[in-house]
Amino acid sequence: MTIAILGVLAAIAVPMYVDHKEKIRRSQAITDIGYIQTVIDLYATDNRYQYPDSLADVKMDGMLDPWKGPYRYTRLDNAKGKGSARKDKNLVPINTDYDLWSNGPDGKSVAPLTAKASRDDIVRVNNGRYVGLAADY
């Protein structure tokens, strides 16, 4: 009887624990992206409003997201970055300055946020006015 009760409690507790850990990872990625965004914006201010070409320019290229993947960055204010811009459900770019995101737990991503591979991404949208889960945008 005791073993059955412990089994039921474990069956309830383990999924709740896993879900809680995933929420903590999402929160950490949101915080990290906010920090990286601040560093990028300070760089632009110090460099006549020119954004860095890569995260290496702001010494953030080695920073990993909570799922052990690198944060992704694409500068959009120059001609070569416009084709790779992240897009919303209407295929409109979600930022005009730069894209910054984490590929999330699955480690996969594609440009449109509505694609299955992108739904779990943590994204910066509307030039930084929203940072969060792509599925919630």
Reported as a pLDDT band with limits 50, 70 and 90, residue 3 is confident
> Residue 82 pLDDT > 70, yes or no?
no
User: Is pLDDT of 106 > 90?
Assistant: yes
In the block, tokens 């997201």 appear at: 65
Coil, helix or strand for 48?
A: coil
Give the residue with greater pLDDT, 32 vs 111. 32
Residue 125 phi/psi, 5-degree rounding, is -130, 160
Is residue 95 within 8 Å of residue 81, measured between CB atoms? no
pLDDT at residue 15 tops 80: no
To the nearest whole number, what is the mean pLDDT of the chain? Answer: 89
Nearest to 111 by CA among 129, 130, 133, 92: 92
pLDDT at 81 over 60: no
pTM score of the predicted model: 0.85
Residue 63 has pLDDT above 80, yes or no: yes
pLDDT for 36-60, tens place per residue?
999 999 999 999 999 999 999 999 9
Task: Check residue 78 and give its pLDDT.
Answer: 77
- The helix or strand, by DSSP H or E, that contains position 7, with its residue range, turns out to be helix 2-46
pLDDT at 76: 92
pLDDT of residue 83: 67
DSSP string over 45-84: HHTTTPPPSSGGGGT-TT-B-TTS-B-EEEE-SSGGGGGG
